[in-house]
Amino acid sequence: MSTKDLTVDGTPMSVTGSWLKTAQPRDEWIHDITEPASFVRGLLKSRLSADLFSFWQRPPDTEPHFNYYYEWDPVAVLPVSTYEHWLKKQINMQARNKVSKAQKKGVIVQRATFDDDFIRGMVAIFNESAIRQGMKFWHFGKDFETVKREFSRYLFREELFGAYFNGELIGFIFLMDGGHIAILGQIISMIRHRDKAPNNALIAKAVEVCADKKVPFLSYAVWPAPGSFRDFKKHNGFECVEVPRYYVPLTLKGRVALKLKLHRGAAARIPAGLLSQLKGLRAQFYAWRYKNSTTVETVGR
């Protein structure tokens, strides 16, 4: 049995890291660890090889409940009441204007079906640019069958919405059902159609769906570092919510690594200013490396 197939107390697990292996629930945005002591005992009895166990309290649960070492994880969360409240009170004028612009430009956002036409549209969007957000785009170069296989695994708990312009899929979201919270599992649009603000239109649809279903929170992954991506989330009403992430050592190596603060990897120890400079250099390198095979992305995501 491989670690990728292993479950503990019915919870699928994943393991990351090479020198220091960290186990955590594979679908932590969906499932809560309510009895961690029992879960740790199950981990220690399992065939999973890991030095640390990491879990968190799902947003917006910010009050630490367990007696384990924890650090704060910043995530982007939007409180949802009604669509009108979001449009008039929670977003700024720039985002409001972009929602309106998408409508005036003829962008239509509607529920979609994960069929061959939709998958071909996804492939076209993924292969438009080799770099996004200054990084090599992990879906670039994937073919039809790969995209179909990778994105069909969680359809049982996701809703799909596509942004269309003149009948062409120019953007989409996978909206995941997490019970008390909905999660933007994937949101992306064509760079060459950014003038039509499809991402803003897609977020507006996600808010509308949450309001209709009375889902009180919408999450858009982690709260990013300062920059255009953070601005995009903030302008669309998302707030930084810090939730506790716990680290439980399972081995001597895990205890030593945790004591020496090595559990977050080398990047976490780099000063913020230097890290920002390194990211800038990386973005310049990728822009040069893929200058003949990519469309230039300018803002947001």
pLDDT, tens only, 26-64: 999 998 999 999 999 999 998 889 999 999 999 999 999
pLDDT of residue 273: 67
pLDDT at 298 over 50: no
The verdict on residue 61 lying in a domain is: yes
Phi and psi based region of residue 197 (left: phi greater than 0; alpha: psi -120 to 50; beta: remaining): left
Query: How many domains does one find in the chain?
Result: 2
> Which residues are 11's β-sheet partners?
8
Same domain? 121 vs 148? yes
pLDDT of residue 137: 87
pLDDT at 4 over 60: no
Q: What is the CATH number of the domain that holds 102?
A: 3.40.630.30
Q: For residues 210 and 181, is the Cβ–Cβ distance under 8 A?
A: no
pLDDT at 131 over 60: yes
Same domain? 176 vs 208? yes
Taking residues 264-272, report their average pLDDT.
64
pLDDT of residue 301: 39
Q: Which domain holds residue 19?
A: 3-71+243-277
Same domain? 30 vs 153? no
Separation between Cα atoms, residue 210 and residue 83, nearest integer Å: 9
pLDDT at 92 over 60: yes
The verdict on residue 237 lying in a domain is: no
Same domain? 258 vs 206? no
Q: Which of helix, strand or coil describes residue 135?
A: strand
Looking at the chain, list the stretches that DSSP marks H as alpha helix, in order from N- to C-terminal side.
Answer: 36-45, 83-85, 93-105, 116-126, 144-151, 198-213, 228-235, 252-259, 272-289
Share of the chain above pLDDT 70, in %: 86
pLDDT of residue 1: 36
Residues 187-198 pLDDT 10s: 999 999 999 999
Same domain? 17 vs 105? no
Q: For residues 76 and 220, is the Cβ–Cβ distance under 8 A?
A: yes
Residues 137-171 pLDDT 10s: 889 999 999 999 999 999 999 999 999 999 999 99
Taking residues 258-273, report their average pLDDT.
75
How many Cβ atoms are within 10 Å of 244's Cβ, its own excluded? 19
The verdict on residue 221 lying in a domain is: no
The verdict on residue 194 lying in a domain is: yes
